[in-house]
Amino acid sequence: MTMLLPPFNQQSATEKVRMAEDAWNSRDPLRVAQVYSLDTRWRNRSEEVQGRDAVVAFLSRKWAKELDYRLIKELWAWHEDRLAVRFAYEWHDDSGNVFRSYGNENWRFGADGLMVERFACINDLPIEASERLFHWPLGRRPDDHPGLSQLGL
């Protein structure tokens, strides 16, 4: 895996966001956790997460609940070692209730390219299954699938 290092420019920041999207769409907690520092610090909704092992546990719980998870991330802004990202993901629970979750993340990276801080604010919108917009096979979003701006999200 290529590690993009700060300071970021528009191209490297956009690539960093897409790499994160691809990893999260794998729904593999160990793969995702590799890009976070050993002592990474998160706030995700109301939950505080500290350390890479806690990230793995958090993501394992998340994807046991959020089924058929598909995510799109988009770069919002960048500055040196920080990225602001907006995202939306679609999922359903074990009762068949479908959601589109919207959010914003603020990321800070160490000189080694690992993420040391992640702060996420997320809102869940119940939707009908017919309202889902993310229909690619589970895994990486195809390059020709529209992003958030193209979908009007």
| CA pair distance 20, 66, nearest whole angstrom | 18
Measured CA to CA in angstroms, residue 54 lies from 28, 29, 122 at distances of 14, 10, 19
Q: Is the pLDDT of residue 2 over 90?
A: no
Render pLDDT for 51-65 as a digit per residue (tens, 0 to 9).
999 999 999 999 999
What's the whole-number average pLDDT of the chain? 97
| CA pair distance 134, 92, nearest whole angstrom | 12
Report field, pTM of the whole predicted structure over 0.85: yes
Render pLDDT for 70-86 as a digit per residue (tens, 0 to 9).
999 999 999 999 999 99
Render pLDDT for 92-147 as a digit per residue (tens, 0 to 9).
999 999 999 999 999 999 999 999 999 999 999 999 999 999 999 999 999 999 99
Query: Cα angle vertex 107, ends 8, 69, to 5°?
Result: 115
Q: Is the pLDDT of residue 26 over 80?
A: yes
**3-state helix vs strand vs coil in the chain, percent to 5:** 30, 40, 30
Domains defined along the chain, listed by start: 10-133+145-151 (3.10.450.50)
